[in-house]
Structure 1
Amino acid sequence: MAGRSHKVLCLGLREAIALPLIQLFKKENWQVFFMGKDAPAYDDARSYMLDIMEEGAEQVFRVRRPDLLLVGLRALNGPQGAAQLERILALAEKSHTGKIILLSGAEVFAPETDGATEDMTPNPVTREGRALACLEALALAWKHYSRLQLTIVRVPEVYGPGNRAQDGLMGTFFSALAKGTAMPHWTREYKRDFLAARDLFYGILELQKRQYTDDFLHLSTGRGLTCQEFFQIAAKSIPHLPAELDDASLPYGQAILSPQKAARTLGWQARRFLPETIPLLYNRLQTALAESADQQEKRQKHGWQNRLNEERMPYAENVAGALLMLAFQYVQGNTVSSLTGFDLCYVYIAAMGLLYGRRQALLAVFFSVLIFAQRLFVLDSTLLTLLYLPQHLIHLVSYAFAGMVTAYFKEEQNFKLAAAKWQEKHDREAYHFLRNLFEENVQIKDQLYRQIVNSDDSIGRLYYIIRKLDTAEPENLFTQTAVVTAEILNVENVIIYVVSPNRQYLRQKVRVGQGTLARARSLRVAEYPYLQDVLAGKSIFVNRELSREAPDLAAPIMYQGSVMAVIQVYDLDFDQWSMYQQNLLAITARLVSSSLARAYTWEQETQARRYVKGTHILKEEEFAKIREEYRKHREIQRDYSIRLLQVEAPQGNYERLDTLLEGNIRAEDFVGLWQGKTWLLLPDSTDATLTLVRERLEKAGIRTGESREIV
């Protein structure tokens, strides 16, 4: 059986680290989850686009309960970094996270430091290094005052197949090569180390497996490269590289971490070094940049079309409307309609305001004022006349009023639409988050349910059998026994035979499956050697000789030390002939035996309540239960015919009727009261069987009446 799947939750990891980690964790049967406001979507991992400070982050920790929490401290390098780290550690403590690994960097030491060990005091010289050192101190304080299993893992620059143009020195260098832009220039002093993401993963895995509990651990190659050495290694693998690098002021040097403690305590060492991986990284980054360029070109093309539709088209329509008003004035001499006396410029202004808002409305007002002024100037009016005559001034003000009023409605609509979109986006994010939590809760519930009640394991099968047989009615026990046996063994044809009192015959009690129709209704024990072995040896029978007259499997049902019934299974598939199937049948038979013992004990204790005094004739309410159980059996097996035959007690004497019926009906037949009459219930009987029963009863002096069928 495969081991339990562990869960790792990652926060603040760059793609250079995240992509290889997903593949490697999945290979080791780990479930991988990412959380962050800008967490990218990965195919083999689930991402929660939540900021750690949001309320939903607590639900993720509570539902997932990760075995390993992996946090990149470089991503917390900001004004809220300390608060975010405290929130992460608080949620981890509350959700009982198994192990916490904080990925820090070599920046906590000065660049000239060579062979920095875990017990060295940090001496950062850069802003990033000082921030990492503060976060490390905060994390250690939490570890000291809580029960968190926390380790800070310091690493140099990590590279992998997920490197992007903005990912560290490596991404900047390869991006400049692929794009053909100016090469980056670095200062040549000090060295720098590079660690493969795959080596980082195996260090984390060993740390988890060996339950490493110290505060710090350094994972690195320990082989620092100068700027010139790095350039020479790249020049051997990448064509068209400039001969040399020029001096500049950009920093290259970084402290070199010592991996000796990791090698000593975990048996870990770096397996991959930069010269082996530079060509692969360069080719992958070239492919990624080419895909990014294609996507950027498509976005620019669509962006130009969108800008044309969203920004330029309204201006074009506004100008077209102004020209239309000008043409109307030229033809008629005025923008006021001669039919209605209404100024069409109001329609033009209102249309622009209602369609596009304030900016286009004011532009339409401006054009309308120019058209109005042009008409007055044609009529030899002056600018003074335009501004000081009340009727002209009121007309111009009405243009502005119409534009502002219509624009107000559009602006209000835009505001409501923006608010609705924001609310819709917020609701969609909340819905997706809650849906993910719901699906995960269902997944966890199903996982736990399968662990407790799984039809594929032994405990689950036992539970299923016990639950099915949890009844006190013996007739229902036989029916459910046949159904359970068929389901547990995954077969179709099952028959249960009951042993006669003289132990000479077996009479068919219940059958399941179409293949059982042609099987005998009764079996003479002397004619079947396998039955003699089952009854005498009280053991499982396996038809290894493939005899047609015997079932494939047969198991005894025991009661008070003797066999009271036999389960027989037919038409097994080839792959079902195994000890596993035999054991399942044996367990089923034993559980049925214990249930029948309990049922018969209950029946004996309540016999006075069930039967008419001094007889085996069931009272009306008990006879109703028997009819209901057989009706349920009929629903399971539609070809199982159940008949009711009315019989008359001589002079109403039930004891006399019980005496006459003894020896003339089968062991599985029932006699009971219903609707003030006495009825004989005949399981698995046809019309021919009913005729034979009538003839036999009349010879015994018992009068019969109508017959019915239970459906």
Structure 2
Amino acid sequence: MNVLIVGGYSVFVSQLIEKFNKEGWEVYLLSGNKNPSRRHPYVFEQYDFRYDTDSIKEILDSASPDLVVFTGAYDSNLSSGKTRRESMYYMSSLVNVLMACQMLHVPRFVYISSHEVYEESYTEPITEEQPASPVSTKGMLVAQGENLVIRYGETTDMDTIVLRLDHMYWMPKNRKEVGEIHAKLCLYALRDRKIPASEKHIFSSVYISDAVFAVYEVSGRPEHQHRIYQITTGEEENEIRVAQTIQAVSARSVTIRDNTVGLTRKNIMSGQRLREEFGLGTRFSYEERVRSIMEYMDRNRNDFLRREEREGSWLQRMFRRFEKVIFALIPFIENLVVFLFVFMLNNRTADSDYFRRVDVFLLYVVLFAVFYGKRQAIVAALLSTAGFIFRQAYFRTAIEVLVDYNIYIWMAQLFIVGMAVGHLRDSLKIITDDKDEEIAFLTGQLDDIYDINSSNLKVKNILEDHIVSYDDSLGVLQNMTESLEHLNPGEAMYQAAEVLSKVIGTDDVAIYKVSNRDYCRLLVGTTDQARQLGKSLKYSDRKELDECLEKREVFVNRDLSKEMPVMAYGLRHGDDLEYIIMVWNLPYEKMSLHQMNLLKVVGYMIQNAITRADTYLDAVRDKRYLGDTNILNTEAFEKVVKTSTEIRRRDYAESVLLWVQSAGDAETLQKDENELQRYNNILSKNVRETDSFGVGKDGHIYVLLANSNAEEADIVIRRFASQGVVCSLKESM
């Protein structure tokens, strides 16, 4: 089996090469670099060409790979993708490789992606189906690469797989290999003895050994069900926890600088497909590996710290303290040393017929003017003047030297040439530095423009969605809620859940019925996620939620707590809180004032529909109940059962039907008023407000336990039995 790995040398690529070689594959490498600096011993053949080369077809034909692994997000040739040229090169390279693979019928193409395609915040673990939300330029490039590979595979029937590696980290061997968050925090501890960390940066990760093993396993399997897989531990971690692990194992005293400010940024991948389809898990936890990384960096600190950052002897520390002064004196020392050489050379050439006309001092001054500028040129001119006069004093008296105007002309020539050349050099240096500074400034501005453009595009899309979107228009909301006005409250509840789901943009919606000041009971939960708080909830214990409900405000889970819904709002009848609607698993960018207002509007319209339904039912009470009891007649109870069956069919809630055997036939029971009232009192006292009881189509009395299962129904049966009422479970009427 042959594998072609497309990517520059890095820790990840090296481990991929070693893994495939260990498993008996013949490894080929397309390095993307015309001038390679290394070659791995396990690479059978290395192709040192750019990815967009016209020779890509010949390279693939030569390698005849059964598998191509495009390292993408972890390719060392892709730094940041900030420049237009780099972005264009990346995408054109991917297209070039894909087209060549398709033409030569390569069996499988694997694209390595990363967590950078998800840069927004998510309250719940990110599944493979979740659309990408890149913000940075590199994230956008990687996401575009994903889409290109997937679409190419769908349109050409080529077997393509995208593997997302979640915050992959590794054991760095030197400072150049420090590039991810775990190693960076270790470097802070090693260098500064202070670790800046934020508790609001929440993420998951995967160790490189686990990642490489999963890449090999998925790539080598003959069949797969999906095109996208996530490789992650799914273990929640944040910077503070990582910093605490580093602090505990560090050889030196380390403090943690808490930078927990701003909004929470949470990115945890689920990795569900990989576990369910391939049974692949991870072996390493971040705490174990971070300890190993910190211990290694402590033992090999000189490989990670620059010379000025290292702690040495008192002599070394003293040298570093005066290092700037010493380096500032070096040009002057160099000037003096060269002058001594020039002075001796001048003494040897002064009497030579061949070199008499060569002005060694002038060459010396010009040399320093070119390399160091005007300041060193003046020093060189002063030294040259002193040396020339000292040389003249060998043959002439001091007076003769002082009155010789030729010497002054020579000195003027020396200073003028030296200062002129030095000034030109300094001017060119200033111009060059200014240009470099301007380029850096403009590059920074260009990056800001990219960021501003991304932000503006996001705002534009949100506003466009608010204004144009059909789902959010008030007219549509009105049309949706009009259907609630003619339904009984049970039907209104599950219809309300569907309205909320469509308008807010999430499948996870729950509606609770408030029983008293402390507790509420679940009526409808559209998913397991929405039902995670249980069937009965003591909402008064959740202070933030309770305060918002008391103030009639929308609760927003800004801390992204797992135990709380993303948003919640209370529906009131007058001053009494009657229902609580909860929204789960909403994208972080949608936790906005617009969504809060939208939730209020929908809640208000739903409340109006329920109130009208309740008013109508109160008005026709005499036609729905048996005499002066709470027992529903056959027609009314049949509607309630039908609604409950529909709710159960949609998997919004459970329900159980009990047959009151001891009551006998309802028609016979009605003839005995005392017995009818006794059963009415017992049933009314022992069921909840959300439950119903009435006459079935067969003429017997039934109790409908809303949001209950068989085990919970057994408790109710025993409770009835203790009061002389015999009941049993009934599948249907």
**Range into which the TM-score falls when normalised by the shorter chain:** 0.3 to 0.5
Please tell me whether Structure 1 or Structure 2 has the larger radius of gyration of its CA atoms: 1
Q: TM-score with structure 2 length normalisation?
A: 0.43
Q: TM-score with structure 1 length normalisation?
A: 0.44
